Amino acid sequence: MKKAKSLLALLVMVLLLGGLAYTSVYGLGSEKSGSLSSINLGLDLAGGVSITYEVGGDGTPSASDMADTIYKLQQRVDQYSTESQVYQEGSNRINIEIPGVTDANKILEELGQPGNLYFIAQTDSEGNENYSYSSGFEVDDEGNVKTDENGNMVMSGEFGYNLNKTIEELEENGSIVLKGEDVANAQAGYQNSGTANTQEVVVELEFTEEGKQKFADATKKAFANGESIGIYYDGRFISVPKVQAEITDGRAVITGEESFESAQNLASMIRIGGLKLQLTELRSNVVGAQLGSDAIHTSKIAAIVGFALIILFMIGVYWLLGVAASVALAFSVGLEVLLLSAFEITLTLPGIAGIILSVGMAVDANVLVFARIREEIAGGKDVKAAVKAGYGKALSAILDGNITTLIAAAILGLRGTGTVKGFASTLALGIVVSMFTALFVTRAITSILYGIGFQDKKWYGQAKELKIRDFTTKRIVAYGISLAIIVVGFVTMGINAGRGAGAFNYSLDFVGGTSTSVTFNENWTTEKLDSEIVPKIKELTGVDSVQIQTVKGTNEVIFKTVTLSVSQREAISSMLQNDYSVPEASIAAESISSTISKEMRSDATSAMIIALVLMLAYIWIRFRDIKFGAAAIVALAHDALIVIVCYALTRIQVGGTFIAAILTIIGYSINDTIVTFDRIRENQYNMSHKDDYASLVNKSVSQTVSRSLFTSITTFIMVLALFIFGVTDIRNFALPLMVGVVAGTYSSIFVASPLWMDLKTKFAKKK
């Protein structure tokens, strides 16, 4: 009977996995929702809409005004995709690139007119109405008002507040009490409604110092007369709140929103309308992928090869348990594809890094459980009892490792922008999915296999007799090796900076560059441009990287490089004219700013610091010893520095993926370190001598070293496949990740645990 039930469960599992695989590849319907083809891809993988705004008014805008406008626009367009890019072009233009969309007109309509927001008093100084409420009704062909089945008149939908005067007239008579530039910030939020202690949705406004006084004067007058102050944006009133009190502290809330989403939309419109600069659309078009279709094709090959090698490795090492883990891992990948599509998460290179990390953590969770199961079998338990005990004993390490990484992902998602936010989204999703599959799906498959007859211990293996190695006496040598590598890296940075080459080889993501727009006489594919034009540009200018964007429906191609000199620009122009008969008038070069602004770097840094502090606090609470947290943070810093040194020594371009690479290694390293710390904590209760920390660390690291190596090997295999099969940009991304995986494994074995011992011993002596 039990075997029949297990066979039925196996059949259900096969059908479920088959259905998931089919849905992941082919989708749920004609739209292919939930399939690989329905996932939103970023600018680097699929292209999107490009919009260029020009600053109105006389003179050149100041650098601070441009920076402030770019940052606020970045926050506004994040609603379409966290991977959107906003950067300066020339002296008075701002370019916005939004991935995963193809309707430029729709985006422009939704985005509205930046820098065109007014707060208008209901009456002017003479008491004349500035705007009035009006409504209209639907009429039939004979001019009669239509009624519904209940006899009620049918409104046409064209009703709301209408201006009685022009904006120019309102400015002259003083009815415009504030402008968008007086708004410092606008956010959706909640406040206590005062009724049964419930929360209501509001829009929270914060004004500048100058706007604070203007708003105080306006609300004093409006409150005395029982009037409203309308918020007018992009040719219409977006809100007409009644003033309920004189407001003098520069902060206000708008109530009456139907949902949090509508409040977010209103706050977003106020922010973009509150830009300091008046922007006018100059051009808009649809651009192609920056990396070309080859990037997606080779990434798929890399994923298939890497996944196949991981399955072979898992089965070869863990036998039947490896089969269960491989099936669960396939389930995890399929489920993640579905959820990426369902949550409309934009996938870019940094997003791929988040997925790689989550796959590594899924393998890690399985390896932790399997190691425990084999230990229990070696201790004399039967398979069923060993499986139950293995999951029970591995649970705390799995939870601690995943929760600490999830904390980092949550903070990066809330505080970060652009690339950082996209990375955090895929990482958080991957962690939840991988933890679910490791704890439940793998266990279910293992139970099914046991039920259909695989009950002999030979199918599961057992742990070999533990050989305790001495890691602590080698710690000084390990510290020295790490310090030497870091010092060599920083010396190299100094030498490169001293000779004018820069400490790092920054890409245009960080330092900006030159955008060369070329209209060819024929249509060129990205692949042909990559093989023919790009090598010539590199040879003429000496640059390492050229980013390509094709413009849909035209023969225009945009080449983006680091900043080019006049002679370099002329060399490119001559080559295009002589070799491809491109008229000089069809070639235009503009300087562009970095796509990762100072504010975005600041956001990423602050998010990382907050995440590290919270991770430290979590480790302190869970392990009841702040020394664990301190040692973990030092190990994270070690791994991040090693990756930074890799960029400095190899001169790989430091671009948008740099931040993602550092964050990936931090997430990977903390998980690796937590597992070892968890075993130290467990063994600490059974210490024969309470001050024999060297023996404790040696035993604990020896028990977990094989798990660290196996997890690192599987993650390394995945990244190595990307490095071998990927295009240049992907290889430049994969190399630092491989270095980071090795560094993370090294630090968890030779740095983190021995450092904890040093801290424990030192403070124990002081006590």
Maximum average pLDDT range among 16-20, 94-98, 489-493: 489-493
Tell me the two tokens of residue 619: 């480790």
Tell me the two tokens of residue 597: 């602004």
Half-sphere exposure of 698 (CA within 13 A, CB side): 14
Tell me the two tokens of residue 658: 């740099």
pLDDT band per the 50, 70, 90 thresholds, residue 441: confident
Domain check: are 481 and 453 in the same one?
A: no
Residue 141 lies in a domain: no
Question: Mapped to the 3 state alphabet, what secondary structure does 97-114 carry?
Answer: EEECCCCHHHHHHHHCCC
Domain check: are 70 and 8 in the same one?
A: no
Q: How far apart are CA 556 and CA 560, in angstroms?
A: 13
pLDDT at 204 (0 to 100): 92
Q: Write down which residue in 592, 614, 631 finishes a domain.
A: 592
Q: For 259, phi and psi rounded to 5 degrees?
A: -150, 165
Residue 298 lies in a domain: yes
Residue 335 lies in a domain: yes
Tell me the two tokens of residue 406: 């999830």
More confident residue, 749 or 98: 749
What tens digit of pLDDT does each residue of 476-510 get? Answer: 999 999 999 999 999 999 998 888 778 888 877 78
Share of the chain above pLDDT 70, in %: 84
Q: How far apart are CA 753 and CA 638, in angstroms?
A: 13
pLDDT band per the 50, 70, 90 thresholds, residue 754: very high
Q: Write down which residue in 242, 274, 306 finishes a domain.
A: 274
Contact 562, 511 (CB under 8 A): yes
Domain check: are 587 and 442 in the same one?
A: no
Task: Using the predicted structure, report yes or no on whether residue 349 has a pLDDT greater than 80.
Answer: no
What tens digit of pLDDT does each residue of 535-550 get? Answer: 999 988 888 888 888 8
Half-sphere exposure of 226 (CA within 13 A, CB side): 0
Q: For 342, phi and psi rounded to 5 degrees?
A: -65, -40
Task: Using the predicted structure, report yes or no on whether residue 663 has a pLDDT greater than 80.
Answer: no
Segment among 349-358, 476-485, 723-732 with least mean pLDDT? 349-358
Residues contacting 271, CB < 8 A, separation 6+: 72, 75, 76, 183, 185, 186
pLDDT band per the 50, 70, 90 thresholds, residue 14: low
Domain check: are 201 and 312 in the same one?
A: no
Q: For 93, phi and psi rounded to 5 degrees?
A: -125, 150
Question: Mapped to the 3 state alphabet, what secondary structure does 527-551 carry?
Answer: HHHHHHHHHHHHHHHCCCCCEEEEE
CATH of the domain at 551: 3.30.70.100
Domain check: are 185 and 241 in the same one?
A: yes
Q: Burial of 734 by CB count in 10 Å (0-12 exposed, 13-18 middle, 19+ buried)?
A: buried
Q: How far apart are CA 533 and CA 539, in angstroms?
A: 10
Tell me the two tokens of residue 593: 């700013």
pLDDT at 575 (0 to 100): 93
Question: Measuring CA to CA, how many Å separate 498 from each of 501, 502, 531, 544, 653?
Answer: 8, 8, 35, 20, 18
Return the closest-CA partner of residue 398 out of 614, 709, 621, 672: 672
Residue 172 lies in a domain: yes
Task: Write out the H or E segment, with its range, that includes residue 76.
Answer: helix 63-77
More confident residue, 379 or 599: 379
Q: What is the DSSP string of 710-762?
A: HHHHHHHHHHHHHHHHS-HHHHHHHHHHHHHHHHHHHHIIIIIHHHHHHHHHH
Residue 10 lies in a domain: yes
Q: How far apart are CA 658 and CA 640, in angstroms?
A: 11
pLDDT at 32 (0 to 100): 46
What tens digit of pLDDT does each residue of 114-126 get? Answer: 777 899 998 887 7
Indicate the average pLDDT of the chain.
81
Return the closest-CA partner of residue 446 out of 464, 430, 459: 459
Residue 283 lies in a domain: no
Domain check: are 632 and 690 in the same one?
A: yes
Share of the chain above pLDDT 90, in %: 12
Q: How far apart are CA 207 and CA 253, in angstroms?
A: 11
Q: How far apart are CA 168 and CA 765, in angstroms?
A: 78
Tell me the two tokens of residue 27: 């989708």
pLDDT at 142 (0 to 100): 58
Q: How far apart are CA 399 and CA 394, in angstroms?
A: 9
Residue 152 lies in a domain: no
Q: How far apart are CA 394 and CA 382, in angstroms?
A: 18
Return the closest-CA partner of residue 185 out of 200, 204, 202, 201: 204
Question: Looking at 498-656, which runs of residues are DSSP E strands?
Answer: 513-519, 547-550, 556-561, 587-592
Instruction: Supply the range of the domain harboring residue 102.
Output: 51-109
Q: Determine the residue type at 679.
A: R
More confident residue, 601 or 251: 251
The mean pLDDT value for 736-744 works out to 91
Tell me the two tokens of residue 521: 């006489």
Residue carrying the six token digits 């406040």: 191
Domain check: are 330 and 354 in the same one?
A: yes
Q: Write down which residue in 592, 626, 661 finishes a domain.
A: 592
Q: How far apart are CA 525 and CA 292, in angstroms?
A: 9
Return the closest-CA partner of residue 82 out of 74, 94, 91: 74
Maximum average pLDDT range among 2-11, 327-336, 568-577: 568-577
Q: How far apart are CA 260 and CA 189, in angstroms?
A: 7
pLDDT band per the 50, 70, 90 thresholds, residue 688: low
Task: Write out the H or E segment, with its range, that includes residue 95.
Answer: strand 93-99
**How many domains in the chain?**
5
More confident residue, 293 or 243: 243
More confident residue, 634 or 453: 634
Tell me the two tokens of residue 686: 């059974």
Domain check: are 438 and 398 in the same one?
A: yes
What tens digit of pLDDT does each residue of 428-437 get? Answer: 888 888 888 8
Segment among 157-171, 256-270, 370-384, 727-741 with least mean pLDDT? 157-171
pLDDT band per the 50, 70, 90 thresholds, residue 198: confident
Tell me the two tokens of residue 508: 């245009």
Q: How far apart are CA 254 and CA 231, in angstroms?
A: 11
pLDDT at 697 (0 to 100): 92
The mean pLDDT value for 691-697 works out to 85
Q: How far apart are CA 414 and CA 424, in angstroms?
A: 9
Question: Looking at 651-733, which runs of residues are DSSP E strands?
Answer: none
Task: Using the predicted structure, report yes or no on whether residue 143 has a pLDDT greater than 60.
Answer: no
Q: How far apart are the first and last CA of the chain?
A: 63
Task: Using the predicted structure, report yes or no on whether residue 604 has a pLDDT greater than 80.
Answer: no
Half-sphere exposure of 410 (CA within 13 A, CB side): 9
What tens digit of pLDDT does each residue of 453-468 get? Answer: 888 888 888 878 788 8
Return the closest-CA partner of residue 668 out of 599, 747, 723: 747
Domain check: are 178 and 249 in the same one?
A: yes
pLDDT band per the 50, 70, 90 thresholds, residue 295: low
Tell me the two tokens of residue 190: 């909640």
Q: For 50, phi and psi rounded to 5 degrees?
A: -120, 125
Q: Residues 3, 8, 9, 13: is their CA dihedral positive or negative?
A: positive
Task: Calculate the dihedral angle through the C-alpha atoms of 285, 288, 290, 295, rounding to the nearest 10 degrees.
Answer: 160
Tell me the two tokens of residue 341: 């599509």
What tens digit of pLDDT does each residue of 33-89 get? Answer: 444 556 667 666 667 788 888 887 666 788 878 887 887 788 778 777 767 888 888
Domain check: are 635 and 742 in the same one?
A: yes
What is the CB neighbour count within 10 angstroms for residue 688?
7
Domain check: are 299 and 359 in the same one?
A: yes
Domain check: are 304 and 240 in the same one?
A: no
The mean pLDDT value for 626-653 works out to 90
Task: Write out the H or E segment, with its range, that includes residue 249.
Answer: none
More confident residue, 145 or 239: 239
Q: How far apart are CA 502 and CA 505, in angstroms?
A: 7
CATH of the domain at 746: 1.20.1640.10
pLDDT at 28 (0 to 100): 44
Return the closest-CA partner of residue 324 out of 456, 463, 401, 439: 439
41 secondary structure, DSSP code: B
CATH of the domain at 259: 3.30.1360.200
Q: How far apart are CA 24 and CA 334, in angstroms?
A: 6
Residue 761 lies in a domain: yes
Tell me the two tokens of residue 392: 């029970």
* Number of helices (H), then strands (E), in the chain: 24, 17
